[in-house]
């Protein structure tokens, strides 16, 4: 999470080709990116270092199939917090390994959480032991995901 929301960097078409190529296949060779972009391998290597140094590329990773790794249950949880305890509550929530995304939102609720679990029983335990029990939690709205139709990184 190197960049602030709304903060952008001037990216040219070569930078975008690099980012799209890596998003689609993090193991793509520099030579293949070079071929796609029409610039030299050395330029691609320089651009990669610059994109990483500037926080445009946060990390290189894989996308594992959640069901294949045992995480077949996904929940979206909307959280209403006590304003005075919001920051401490947020700090505790980001430490829970099954909570993979935490967003501050506007509206009736303050936080949007994405939670991955192995079972509904595990989800119940996480909600009761790791979320609802935190001081500063005022209300929760739990949504069980029935189908994952699309899940991608933002376009580049």
Look up the CATH number of the domain holding residue 44: 1.10.10.10
> What is the DSSP secondary structure assignment for residue 129, as one 8-state letter?
I
User: Minimum mean pLDDT among 15-19, 135-139, 150-154: which range?
Assistant: 150-154
Q: Are 60 and 28 in contact (CB under 8 A)?
A: no
Question: What tokens does 99 get?
Answer: 């909570």
Pairing of strands 99-104, 111-117: antiparallel
pLDDT for position 153: 79
Instruction: Tell whether 152 is covered by a domain.
Output: no
DSSP codes joined into one string, 50-96: HHHHTTSS--------TTTTT--EEEEEEEEE-GGGHHHHHHHHTT-
Q: Which residue range forms the structural domain that includes residue 34?
A: 13-53
Number of H helices, E strands in the chain: 5, 4
Smallest CA-to-CA distance from 136 within 84, 96, 101 is with 84
Domain match, 91 and 129 both: yes
Q: Report whether pLDDT(3) > 50.
A: no
Q: In CATH, what number is assigned to the domain containing residue 78?
A: 3.30.70.920
E-assigned strand segments in 39-118 = 73-81, 99-104, 111-117
pLDDT for position 4: 55
97 — pLDDT class (breaks 50, 70, 90): very high
Q: Mean pLDDT over residues 129-149, rounded?
A: 96
Domain match, 77 and 27 both: no
The tens digit of pLDDT for each residue in 12-51 reads 999 999 999 999 999 999 999 999 999 999 999 999 999 9
The tens digit of pLDDT for each residue in 70-96 reads 999 999 999 999 999 999 999 999 999
Domain match, 129 and 100 both: yes
Neighbours of 70 (CB within 10 A): 12
34-35-36-41 Cα dihedral, nearest 10 degrees: 0
Q: Mean pLDDT over residues 61-67, rounded?
A: 87
Domain match, 36 and 77 both: no
pLDDT for position 152: 84
pTM: 0.83
Domain match, 84 and 127 both: yes
Question: What tokens does 150 get?
Answer: 């699309």
Domain match, 41 and 78 both: no
Instruction: Tell whether 6 is covered by a domain.
Output: no
Q: Are 131 and 79 in contact (CB under 8 A)?
A: yes
Domain match, 100 and 37 both: no
């Amino acid at each position: 999470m190197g960049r602030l929301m709304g903060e952008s960097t001037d990216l040219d078409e070569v930078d975008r080709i690099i980012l799209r190529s890596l998003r689609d296949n993090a193991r793509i060779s520099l030579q293949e990116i070079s071929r796609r972009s029409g610039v030299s391998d050395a330029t691609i290597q320089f651009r990669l270092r610059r994109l990483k140094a500037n926080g445009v590329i946060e990390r290189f990773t894989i996308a594992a199939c959640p069901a294949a790794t045992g995480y077949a249950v996904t929940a979206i949880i909307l959280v209403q917090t006590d304003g005075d305890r919001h920051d401490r509550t947020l700090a505790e929530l980001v430490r829970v390994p099954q909570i993979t995304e935490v967003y501050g939102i506007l509206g009736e609720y303050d936080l949007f959480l994405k939670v991955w679990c192995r079972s509904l029983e595990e989800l119940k335990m996480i909600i009761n032991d790791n979320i609802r029990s935190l001081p500063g939690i005022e209300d929760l709205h739990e949504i069980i995901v029935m189908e994952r139709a699309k899940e991608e990184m933002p376009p580049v």
